[in-house]
Structure 1
Amino acid sequence: MQAKSFSLGAEAYLLEAVVVRCGDDLTVVIGGGEKQHIGAVAVGVPRPSLKDKNVVSSSASVLCLTGHKEDLLARSAALELAKLLGHTVTVTVGLHIDDAPAAAISLLEENFQELLRQICHWAVSAKQ
């Protein structure tokens, strides 16, 4: 197995990730904010596109813990990585800031997207 750690942001907006290659597959754990935890888990699986069987697309299954809202982040990351890599991907996300205003949530989401870009870049280069 090959593992890589990532971090982005500062203080309450710090996101950390650990990515593990399991053969051809990938496991990603992303936590951040004031309290890292497990809020949602998604499994992305590559498949032929429904519009063009020669194009790779992906499907995802998601488990979201009651009261948590990380399901969309976990799902989008699992879909993107599974499509990009052509292999199964699990993504666990847990981000939390107490009583977060909309601006704080927006900043966490921006940091999440940038962290995901970095993970995608590494995953493609580590695959080669």
Structure 2
Amino acid sequence: MTQGLSGANAKINRGGYELAAEARWVGADLLVCIWGGQAPHIGAVAMATPRPSLADPQQTSATASVFTYVGHKEDRLAQEAAEALSASLNCRVVVTAGCHWDGLDPQGITQVRRNGRELVALLRERLLEQRER
């Protein structure tokens, strides 16, 4: 399925909040690193696995487990990314996420979350295109 595929990169910068991602295939599984801000790091790790949707078993969904370092807030970013990629690519996914901006206000948090969703959509698109080649 992923034999010979290496992965993909993506970057998004809206509202001055740049996020970047790198994805690599590890056999049939996907490893993703998301980072951004003034002090990139690993703040949270999410592991997702695909499963039939509870609402419609004909659709694929995903369930994730998340580990977050004390004081870090990247858990939602990591979980949403892992579940979205796992469901759409139908594979196990591990996502690490770590981004930091000094003085981030509620509007900034909203923009970072938007950027995260857009980043994951872009990464997913690139991975699907690569798989089709």
- TM value normalised by structure 1: 0.90
* Residue range with higher mean Cα deviation, 3-12 or 97-106: 3-12
Partner of 1:116: 120
Offset at residue 11 of structure 1 (A)? 9.4
Give the AA of the match of 1:109: R
Offset at residue 50 of structure 1 (A)? 2.6
**What does 1:16-35 correspond to in 2, within 5 Å?**
16-35=20-39
Partner of 1:64: 68
Offset at residue 85 of structure 1 (A)? 0.8
**Structure 2: tracts of 5 or more residues without a match:** none
1:12–1:34 contact (8 Å) kept in structure 2? no
Give the AA of the match of 1:57: S
1:29–1:91 contact (8 Å) kept in structure 2? yes
Aligned length: 128
The share of aligned pairs that are identical, in percent, is 37
- Distance in structure 2 (CA, Å) of the matches to 1:43 and 1:13: 25
* Residue range with higher mean Cα deviation, 113-122 or 46-55: 46-55
Any idea what the Cα deviations from partners look like across 1:51-74, whole Å, max 9, x if unmatched? Answer: 443321211110011001111111
Picking from 2, 10, 13, the partner of 2:6 is 2
Give the AA of the match of 1:122: R
Moved over 6 A (4+): none
Offset at residue 114 of structure 1 (A)? 1.2
**Structure 1: tracts of 5 or more residues without a match:** none
Q: In structure 2, do the counterparts of structure 1 residues 52 and 31 end up closer, same or farther at CA, with 3 Å as the change threshold?
A: same
Root-mean-square deviation (CA, aligned residues, Å) is: 1.8
